[in-house]
Amino acid sequence: MQDRKIKIVHILEGFVGGLATYMCNVLPQLKKCGFDVTLVCSLRRSAPDAAEKIAELRKTGIEVCIIPMCRKITPILDLYCFFAILKLLIKHRFDIVHTHCSKAGAIGRTAASLAGVKTRFYSSHCFAFLRCGNFFTKRIYRSIEKLLGKITTRFIAVSQSDAEAAHRAGIFPPDKCVIVNNGLCRTEPLSGAQKCSKDTINKTSLGLAENVFVVTTACRLVEYKGIFSFLEAATLSNSSCIFLIAGDGKLKSKIQKYILENSLSEKAKLLGHVSDMECLYSITDIVVLCSAMEAQPYLLLEAMRAKRPIIATDVAGNRELLANKRGLLVKPSPERIARAVDELLSDEKKRKRLAGAAYEYFNKCHRLEKQIMQLTQTYKAALQERKGKERVGNYI
């Protein structure tokens, strides 16, 4: 008799940014590998094309359950979501629960423990206590993570720095951490905007001259992504270039106001959410990321795949990707960012050298096939380990 498929559920709160990219890349591949895959998520915090992406996931045979979690602590709603997830876990009897980020990580792992799901994974994608500025909030978040770590089978870190952060904070010992780098499928970089359809972004649609340099960042418009440092760098740069921001989020109106008040309309443009990022990369000369904290940003992986030179702030997740001269790492100040932009735009050979080294590294370490292979091995090994312990327990 053929063994039944391993049933796995991924639980997250916001279907947005890198998390949405992760799910859209990983879950269909897990389905192809023979897993029975379910996604539990909320659309309260999501990108404009989230419904379309959810529909695509469902077409691949992935069950998607929408539960209205929100990022902030809201006791009544949190309790409702907890019982909704608990009911789902009891009903479907999953073999594995894999939770993502702090909120869903707390609700999902607690529910999984009560539902009797014995194999529980967690990925933080950059711990919340590393991103918040309040001392007491940091302590509370870290304490909660420590408590939940005791009911977690494995911590699946997306980078070495992610695993080290968990170990330093006393959340997970090294033997409970597995590093599975984020990955992307390989696509050949576009050589120019003419390869994109007429309805997508190009220099003509943006009203730019063909010979103008383009400096691009793409991210959720939230505080720790450093968007205002990017905009201030635009005012300080001496190069003849345009600074583009692709993304949406709660800071959108403040960014628009900043651009107007600082007379940056000719130097910087806020594009909003961009679905066809490959076309945007095809007209980009430099990709910049100004974050105060990262685990392993998809923006940098996408830029590597697109053979675009990178400037990023010298923080753990960025540093790991851009080591060994795969990009320029700078202190998180507008002056340093502007100086790095001017340096790279004046040196075409250096841009090509950095982009080439990054592309080679991407193909070696961050292919989607490798990520899926490591994930499936991690899942199956944990199930085998659990079964082995149960057999020993029954024998005793």
pLDDT, tens digit, 9 for 90 and up, residues 232-254:
999 999 999 999 999 999 999 99
Q: Is the pLDDT of residue 392 over 70?
A: no
pLDDT at residue 109 tops 50: yes
Count of CB atoms within 10 A of residue 362's CB?
Answer: 23
- At 192 the pLDDT is 47
pLDDT at residue 238 in the model: 95
Q: Tell me: pLDDT of 78 over 80.
A: yes
Q: Which two tokens stand for residue 360?
A: 């080679």
How many distinct structural domains can be found in the chain? 2
Q: Are residues 163 and 261 in the same domain?
A: no
Q: Tell whether 179 and 320 lie within a shared domain.
A: no
**Are 210 and 355 part of one and the same domain?**
yes
Place of tokens 């695509």: 56
Cβ-in-10-Å burial (0-12, 13-18, 19+) of 59 comes to exposed
Segments forming the whole domain that contains residue 36 = 7-184+367-395
**Position 158 pLDDT exceeds 70:** yes
Mean pLDDT (the chain) is: 93
Average pLDDT of 288-307? 97
Q: Per the structure block, which two tokens stand in for 278?
A: 């490959």
| Domain shared by 258 and 318, yes or no | yes
Mark whether 141 and 220 lie in a shared domain. Answer: no
Domain membership of residue 2 (yes or no) is no
Q: What is the pLDDT of residue 199?
A: 54
The least confident of 106-120, 197-211, 316-330 is 197-211
| Integer Cα distance of 134 and 58 in angstroms | 40
Q: Residue 275: what pLDDT?
A: 87
**What is the rounded distance in angstroms from the CA atom of residue 379 to the CA atom of residue 58?**
22
Residue 396 is predicted with a pLDDT of 38
Q: Residue 201: its pLDDT value, please?
A: 84
Considering the domain architecture, whether residues 375 and 242 belong to the same structural domain is answered as no
State yes or no: pLDDT of 280 exceeds 50: yes
Pair of tokens at residue 12: 């997250």
Same domain, 209 and 351: yes
The pLDDT assigned to 135 comes to 86
Residues 168 and 207 in one domain: no
Q: Is the pLDDT of residue 156 over 60?
A: yes
Query: Residue 3 above 70 pLDDT?
Result: no
| Cα 180 to Cα 99: distance, rounded to the nearest angstrom | 15
- As a whole number, mean pLDDT of residues 36-48 equals 95
Q: What percent of the chain has pLDDT over 90?
A: 88
Residues 347 and 385 in one domain: no
**Which is higher by pLDDT, 187 or 336?**
336
**Mean pLDDT of the 147-169 span:** 97
Q: Which residues of 23-38 are buried (b: 16+ CB within 10 A; e: fewer)?
A: bebbbbbbbebebbbb
Is 251 in the same domain as 356? yes
Do 151 and 86 fall into the same domain?
yes
pLDDT in tens, 15-29: 999 999 999 999 999
Which value, to the nearest 10 degrees, does the dihedral of the CA atoms of residues 74, 79, 83, 84 take? -30
Maximum average pLDDT range among 128-137, 198-207, 220-229, 384-393: 220-229
| N-term to C-term CA, the chain | 29
- pLDDT score of 391 more than 90: no
State yes or no: pLDDT of 132 exceeds 90: no
Residue 368: pLDDT over 70: yes
Q: Tell me, yes or no, whether 161 and 96 share the same domain.
A: yes
Under the banding of pLDDT at 50, 70 and 90, the label for residue 298 is: very high
CA distances from 146 to 111, 140, 152, 315, 353 (A): 17, 10, 10, 24, 43
Tell me, what's the pLDDT at 231?
98
pLDDT digits (tens, 9 = 90+) for 44-65: 999 889 999 999 999 999 999 9
> Does 250 map to a domain?
yes
Asked if residue 302 has pLDDT above 60, the reply is yes
Q: Does position 324 have pLDDT exceeding 50, yes or no?
A: yes
Number of Cβ within 10 Å of residue 387's Cβ equals: 12
Residue 76 lies in a domain: yes
Closest CA to 379 of 6, 5, 3: 6
Residue 113: its pLDDT value, please?
A: 98
CATH number at residue 238: 3.40.50.2000
pLDDT score for 2? 47
pLDDT of 193 > 70? The answer is: no
